[in-house]
Amino acid sequence: MQYRPTEIEPKWQQRWAEARVAEIDVAAPGQKLYMLNMFPYPSGDLHVGHGRNYILGDAVYRYFRMQGRVALNPMGWDAFGLPAENAAIKKQTHPRVWTLGNIERMKRQFGRWGILYDWSKEIASCEPEYYKWNQWLFLQLYKRGLAYRGTAPVNWCPQDQTVLANEQVVDGRCERCGALVEQRELSQWFFKITDYADRLDAGLDTLEHWPEKVKLMQRNWIGRSRGADVDFDVPSLGKPIRVFTTRPDTIFGATFMVLAPENPDVAALIADHPDRAAIEEWITGVRNQSALERQEAGKEGRFTGKTAVNPFTGEEIPIWLGNFVLPQYGTGALMAVPAHDERDFEFAKQYGLPVRSVIALTSGEQPELPFTAKDESGVAMGSGPIDGLPVPKAIDRIIEIIEERGIGRGIVRYRLRDWLISRQRYWGTPIPMIYCEKCGLVPVPEEQLPVTLPLDVPFTGREGNPLGKHDAFVNVACPQCGAAARRETDTMDTFVDSSWYFLRFVTPRDDQKIFDAELVNRWLPVDQYIGGVEHAILHLLYARFITRTLHDMGLLSFEEPFARLFNQGMITKEGYKDARGAWVSPSEVELRDGKPYRGDEELTAEITKMSKSRLNVVPPDELIARFGADTERVYTLFIAPPEKEAAWSDEGVVGAFRFLGRVWNMFDRLQDQATPDVVRKMHQTIDAVTTRIERFEFNTAISALMEFSNVLGDAPSREAYEALLKLLHPFAPHMTEELWAMLGNEEFLLTSRWPVADRALMQEDTVTIAVQVNGKLRGQVEVAAPAEEAKVFEAIGANEKIQNWLAGKELVKRIYVPGKLVNIVVK
């Protein structure tokens, strides 16, 4: 009987669904396990690259099920967001219709991959039952001063007609559409994540099972810096200007000061400047530049004509304005120490400002300038009270002095800025606030939630948010005084939706509260979180932040939502470009001598991320129709280590298919007796596959199964075959279920118990031991396994020469490894 996956797979998918195998009662006893794949944005069709993420999660889920864990494995939809709105404008449909249609398609695709989710817990963030709690959360944060309205220079995307978070601006362009981002002053809603900067930074140390890379990216993003705020007197201003520095030890080398053009003191400083108009014009020019343009312009500055007093040298130093000083970091003013800071050095050279070195090398020599090392390699000099101290100590000491003199203080600052959550867009959670002329800002009372997003709005793609044109939505009575008032029309950043969804999965239908605290504290943190590295900073940082705010409200007993994090790599494939750089469909491409052609035109091949525009996506449907979902699953996991990027190969798929076909064909020739070799290999394989799944080494877990099947030949024992089916189940669930049933089992293989390796049976009968002395082979002996030390020595003792060498020498290493040539090394 031939292996025909297309006949087997739909049958088992249906049986699992009918038996609701993945649905669990969160109140039931048992050892819990919370598995979670990041919930996707429902963009439509899934390709094999997306599949990797979910297949991987499903394999782990099935493994833990077979280990007897009560496993929660839910799925939902990050269903608000810009693409739905853009599609609505383009196709004249409603974002909701477009979104729900995509959800249905993706759900079917998950089914065809054989992926088991607990669909009774499905959530979609665009539904009022869900976003009601977004609004509730907003109100709690507002109550605690963690949500506030502020005016800020914001990134405005002229193409999408919306404000973008700093994180959504990449190289000065809109992350989504690529348009150049403009700076605008607007009143916006923020979440005060900066209040949690220190805890978000410190908490990273507790995340033992997160990739180092992700922790580092978060750490850099938070950008913790220890330093000092120091006041420099400015006689002409009648008040000091405060600067922030991480190198207060270099203050004796501060030869000028630079302010950001946006600094509020600038106006007073240049008020009586003879060229005031020219300077103001320059400031306006700089302020209108995007961050990218500013940087590309190089370092530019203007002298204000005023001076400040260096509090340590007593010198008057010039105050400059500089385009490289960031207004939002520190105090928007800095003391420039050109000798020990590259940027200050560059600026000083450009404008001929003095450079004074105040750090010597520990060796006593003078370093080449600028010398910026912040470690023990430098020693303070020409710096009065801190002379001779190594840099780290000098920093501590000078901060003490600054504090004693009352001219500043040691301080920790962060790069992290508050989270701008306002979006001038329709398809998102309405922010539950009302503007009343009498009462001002009034929160919508909790009992009036949800503020429902109206569905009957026009989509023109022009003039901002369509919500603003919906009179019934906008015009409301003030909840406090009853007078006519206006509703907030901004919606929330979709990262708000995803900052707490993992808490909702435990009790997704609760309409009285955001979640059941007792159950959530039992099920969370998530044991295993799986998703792309593209969420390394934003999503994960926001989720960690919101979790802490809920912790501080007394609702959660934990501060870190995800105990273990795994980032899978992308799947790439070659795409073909013609001479003009346009992507060419693979169906038009012909390979000759390994080079791609379209007719006579030679094309270039490029390995890239799969995407529709590059015409290099592999749709799973064709693949499944030809080889089955099990083959796709096995190939996807076998292709490379799961955290690595991997290139899809259509030929490679065949190997996985052949392997499954061989396992299938064994069924007809089962035997009762197993040879000792097979028994040993079985236990070795059980051990190998188990540890490799635990370590997310699926590629080698599968190669171990291939080896096992090679040892089994075409006539395995029934016992070994059953073990193979179990070990293979997480990777090829349909075929193994079918064979398991054919063996006469009534229960699902999924609900059977994972096999346990017997270590004693894993051992080889004998071990070959080679004895080497000073690198030269002195003989080999065979001893029984498990090798006992006494037997090894006895065996060695049998060799006269070795015995002599051994006398009076130290045995430095003994290795007993089954099946391996082992050296005894003697010094």
Partner RNA sequence: GCGAAAGUGGCGGAAUUGGCAGACGCGCUGGACUUAGGAUCCAGUGGCCCAAAGCCGUGUGGGUUCGAGUCCCACCUUUCGCACCA
- Member of 220, 284, 350, 585 binding RNA (CB under 7 A): 220
Please, what sign has the CA dihedral across residues 249, 255, 260, 265? positive
- Member of 323, 357, 685, 736 binding RNA (CB under 7 A): 323
Interface with RNA in residues 521-550 (CB under 7 A): 533, 537
Q: What is the smallest separation between the CB atom of 728 and RNA, expressed in angstroms?
A: 13
Residue ranges with strand state E in 743-784: 766-773, 776-784
Q: What is the smallest separation between the CB atom of 428 and RNA, expressed in angstroms?
A: 23
Phi, psi at 198, each rounded to 5°: -65, -40
Contact call for residue 291 and RNA (CB under 7 A): yes
| The two structure tokens encoding residue 213 | 């890379």
Residue ranges with strand state E in 533-645: 565-568, 571-577, 583-584, 590-592, 595-598, 601-602, 604-609
Interface with RNA in residues 432-471 (CB under 7 A): none
How many residues line the site for RNA (CB under 7 A)? 81
Q: What is the smallest separation between the CB atom of 575 and RNA, expressed in angstroms?
A: 15
Q: With 0-12 CB in 10 A as exposed, 13-18 as middle and 19+ as buried, what is 780? A: middle
Interface with RNA in residues 257-286 (CB under 7 A): 260
Q: What is the smallest separation between the CB atom of 220 and RNA, expressed in angstroms?
A: 6
- Member of 86, 125, 245, 631 binding RNA (CB under 7 A): 245
Q: Please give the angle made by the CA atoms of 11, 13 and 15, to the nearest 5 degrees.
A: 70
Contact call for residue 62 and RNA (CB under 7 A): no
In terms of CB distance, is 74 or 322 closer to RNA? 322
DSSP secondary structure string for all residues of 660-723: HHHHHHHGGG-BS---HHHHHHHHHHHHHHHHHHHTT-HHHHHHHHHHHHHHHTTS-BHHHHHH
- Member of 177, 271, 483, 817 binding RNA (CB under 7 A): 817
Q: What is the smallest separation between the CB atom of 811 and RNA, expressed in angstroms?
A: 10
Q: What is each CA distance from 659 to 627, 674, 713, in whole angstroms?
A: 12, 21, 12
Yes or no: say if 424 and 165 are a contact pair by the CB < 8 Å rule.
Answer: no
Q: What is each CA distance from 235 to 262, 305, 603, in whole angstroms?
A: 21, 12, 69
Which residues lie across from 784 on neighbouring strands?
766
Contact call for residue 646 and RNA (CB under 7 A): yes
d(CA 823, CA 631) in angstroms, rounded, equals: 42
In terms of CB distance, is 223 or 525 closer to RNA? 223
- Member of 706, 783, 802, 806 binding RNA (CB under 7 A): 706
In terms of CB distance, is 329 or 793 closer to RNA? 329
Contact call for residue 357 and RNA (CB under 7 A): no
Q: Locate tokens 């607990």: which residue?
A: 118
Contact call for residue 247 and RNA (CB under 7 A): yes
Q: What is the smallest separation between the CB atom of 736 and RNA, expressed in angstroms?
A: 18
Contact call for residue 825 and RNA (CB under 7 A): yes
Q: What is the smallest separation between the CB atom of 215 and RNA, expressed in angstroms?
A: 10
Helix H or strand E segment including 52: helix 48-66
Residues in contact with RNA, shown as a per-residue x/- string from 402 to 421 under the rule CB under 7 A:
-----------x-x------
Contact call for residue 655 and RNA (CB under 7 A): yes
Contact call for residue 288 and RNA (CB under 7 A): no
Q: One-letter amino acid identity for 348?
A: A
Q: Please name which of 320, 366, 372, 326 lies closest in space to residue 347, comparing C-alpha atoms.
A: 320
Interface with RNA in residues 674-703 (CB under 7 A): 697, 699-700, 702-703
The bridge status of strand 316-322 relative to strand 32-37 is: unpaired
Contact call for residue 659 and RNA (CB under 7 A): yes
Interface with RNA in residues 755-784 (CB under 7 A): 772, 774-776
d(CA 337, CA 341) in angstroms, rounded, equals: 6
Yes or no: say if 735 and 5 are a contact pair by the CB < 8 Å rule.
Answer: yes
Interface with RNA in residues 465-524 (CB under 7 A): none
Contact call for residue 338 and RNA (CB under 7 A): no
d(CA 312, CA 799) in angstroms, rounded, equals: 81
Q: Please name which of 75, 79, 128, 74 lies closest in space to residue 100, comparing C-alpha atoms.
A: 79
Q: What is the smallest separation between the CB atom of 281 and RNA, expressed in angstroms?
A: 19
In terms of CB distance, is 142 or 638 closer to RNA? 638
In terms of CB distance, is 225 or 799 closer to RNA? 225
Yes or no: say if 227 and 411 are a contact pair by the CB < 8 Å rule.
Answer: yes
In terms of CB distance, is 214 or 457 closer to RNA? 214
Q: What is the smallest separation between the CB atom of 439 and RNA, expressed in angstroms?
A: 37
- Member of 27, 177, 267, 326 binding RNA (CB under 7 A): 326
Q: Please name which of 159, 169, 180 lies closest in space to residue 464, comparing C-alpha atoms.
A: 159
Q: What is the smallest separation between the CB atom of 637 and RNA, expressed in angstroms?
A: 11
In terms of CB distance, is 647 or 670 closer to RNA? 647
- Member of 513, 644, 759, 809 binding RNA (CB under 7 A): 644
- Member of 710, 751, 803, 804 binding RNA (CB under 7 A): 710
Q: What is the smallest separation between the CB atom of 326 and RNA, expressed in angstroms?
A: 4
Residues in contact with RNA, shown as a per-residue x/- string from 90 to 129 under the rule CB under 7 A:
----------------------------------------
Yes or no: say if 31 and 69 are a contact pair by the CB < 8 Å rule.
Answer: yes
